């Protein structure tokens, strides 16, 4: 069995590590000159989105032999809507770095990868399929899945972000659900050290946002964070992504081609989280290749999380700032902590179950 992995990101490297542990050496093709050769970004792993797993770092090491050191553990989340705020405390998840920094998740995975990575190597899927018995597509977006008519794109999102310098509590993240700042979207501040944080704004490319200028919003948001934190927050690194597709594959595996990571559709539509699912998808593809499970079956819970999260996204699009104020207000205190701390229920699943009839009714009204 000759296996080619396209892409040395989270899912591709997790796949390679798991294959090697089981005695198979894949060849990894990476189009860039090094792992993580992209913008630096602070990201989060929030346990509310990884249920039933509460501590995904522990689970990755104990269950799958993938060892990752986060930048910090999140002990506090401050949530802001237009007129309300909530503070949620407890063990909420982790922050981590992505990109070209030494401690980034992709660099950490590279260190655990015992297979050769061929850099500056952008082979097409067709070329690899001609040479290898199996191809794992881990390219980080749905392009190849689209090309092979295996991808349902649900919407696209435009994102702008930057690394800012300042003085931060690295155990605390901030999120804004305020449609004046980001219509139908969200903003984050994620520290990855005491001195650096990532700020980002993401808005879905809905018809209602057609006249929205992301650069203007960005200016307002940066100003808002500066005044809230009473700091200058100079930017050291900026990025912008236009029309990032959010969608999911119809089939996780077609013949001997495996769609993993965001090429499968591991990024959750609600607020764009996908790191944990991407790593798991790489591990699961390797399990299938090693005869330890069926990829399609193993991916079912991740597929379900995507669908549940899509319901939340569609519901979010029906809300106004008034509705967001109500939600944020409700999350302050008992309910917020209950929702984020509970280990027995999956809040994403429950919320989506309760909201499904409402979304159906709205859809019926608009068609």
Ligand X SMILES: Cc1cc2nc3c(=O)[nH]c(=O)nc-3n(C[C@H](O)[C@H](O)[C@H](O)COP(=O)(O)OP(=O)(O)OC[C@H]3O[C@@H](n4cnc5c(N)ncnc54)[C@H](O)[C@@H]3O)c2cc1C
Residue closer to ligand X by CB (options 81, 266) is 266
Calculated CA dihedral for residues 53, 175, 98, 303, nearest 10 degrees: 40
Q: Is 16 exposed, middle or buried (0-12, 13-18, 19+ CB in 10 A)?
A: buried
Sign of the Cα torsion 209, 212, 218, 220 reads: negative
Q: At what angle do helices 10-21 and 105-112 cross, to 10 degrees?
A: 20
Interface residues with ligand X (CB under 6 A) are 6-12, 29-32, 41, 43-45, 122, 138-140, 159, 161, 200, 241, 244, 261-263, 266-267, 272-275, 278
Residue closer to ligand X by CB (options 166, 245) is 245
Q: How far is the CB of 333 from ligand X (least distance, A)?
A: 25
Residue closer to ligand X by CB (options 21, 100) is 100
Q: Pairing mode, if any, of strands 85-98 and 72-80?
A: antiparallel
Residue closer to ligand X by CB (options 295, 359) is 295
Residue closer to ligand X by CB (options 140, 336) is 140
Q: How far is the CB of 364 from ligand X (least distance, A)?
A: 32
Q: Which residue of the chain is nearest ligand X when measured via CB? A: 9
Q: How far is the CB of 133 from ligand X (least distance, A)?
A: 19
Task: Write the DSSP assignment of 325-356 as a string of letters.
Answer: HHHHHHHSSHHHHHHHH-SSS-HHHHHHHHHH
Other Cβ atoms less than 10 A from the Cβ of 282: the count is 33
Q: How far is the CB of 37 from ligand X (least distance, A)?
A: 7
Residue closer to ligand X by CB (options 157, 359) is 157
Q: How far is the CB of 275 from ligand X (least distance, A)?
A: 3
Give 241's strand partners.
159
Residue closer to ligand X by CB (options 267, 359) is 267
DSSP 171: T
From CA 358, how far away is CA 319, in angstroms rounded? 12
Q: How far is the CB of 344 from ligand X (least distance, A)?
A: 23
Q: At what angle do helices 275-289 and 10-21 cross, to 10 degrees?
A: 30
Q: How far is the CB of 61 from ligand X (least distance, A)?
A: 17
Give 188's strand partners.
175, 200
């Amino acid at each position: 069995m000759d296996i080619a992995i396209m892409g040395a990101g989270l899912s591709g490297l997790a796949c390679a590590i798991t294959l090697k542990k089981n005695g198979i050496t894949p060849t990894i093709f990476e189009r860039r000159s090094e792992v993580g050769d992209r913008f630096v970004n602070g990201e989060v792993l929030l346990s509310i989105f990884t249920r039933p797993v509460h501590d995904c770092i522990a689970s990755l090491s104990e269950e799958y032999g993938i060892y990752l050191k986060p930048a910090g553990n999140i002990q506090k989340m401050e949530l802001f809507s237009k007129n309300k705020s909530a503070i949620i405390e407890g063990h909420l998840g982790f922050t981590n770095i992505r990109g070209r920094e030494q401690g980034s998740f992709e660099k950490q995975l590279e260190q655990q990868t015992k297979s050769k990575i061929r850099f500056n190597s952008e082979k097409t899927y067709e070329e690899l399929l001609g040479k290898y018995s199996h191809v794992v597509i881990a390219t980080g977006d749905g392009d190849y899945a689209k090309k092979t008519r295996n991808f349902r794109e649900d919407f696209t999102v435009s994102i702008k972000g930057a690394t800012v310098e300042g003085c931060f509590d690295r155990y605390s993240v901030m999120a804004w659900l305020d449609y004046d700042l980001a219509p139908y979207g969200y903003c984050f501040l994620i520290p990855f050290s005491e001195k650096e944080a990532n700020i980002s704004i993401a808005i879905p490319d809905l018809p209602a946002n057609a006249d929205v200028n992301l650069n203007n919003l960005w200016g307002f948001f940066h100003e808002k964070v500066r005044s809230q934190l009473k700091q200058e927050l100079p930017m050291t690194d900026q990025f912008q992504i236009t029309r990032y597709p959010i969608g999911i594959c119809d089939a996780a595996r077609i013949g001997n081609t495996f769609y993993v990571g965001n090429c499968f559709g591991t990024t959750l539509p609600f607020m764009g989280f996908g790191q944990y699912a991407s790593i798991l998808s790489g591990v699961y593809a390797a399990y299938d290749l090693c005869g330890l499970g069926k990829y399609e079956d193993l991916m079912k819970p991740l597929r379900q999380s995507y669908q549940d999260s899509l319901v939340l996204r569609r519901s979010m699009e029906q809300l106004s700032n008034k509705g967001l104020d109500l939600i944020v207000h409700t999350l302050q205190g008992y309910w917020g902590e209950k929702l984020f701390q509970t280990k027995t229920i999956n809040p994403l699943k429950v919320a989506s179950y309760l909201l499904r009839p409402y979304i159906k009714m709205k859809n019926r009204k608009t068609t």
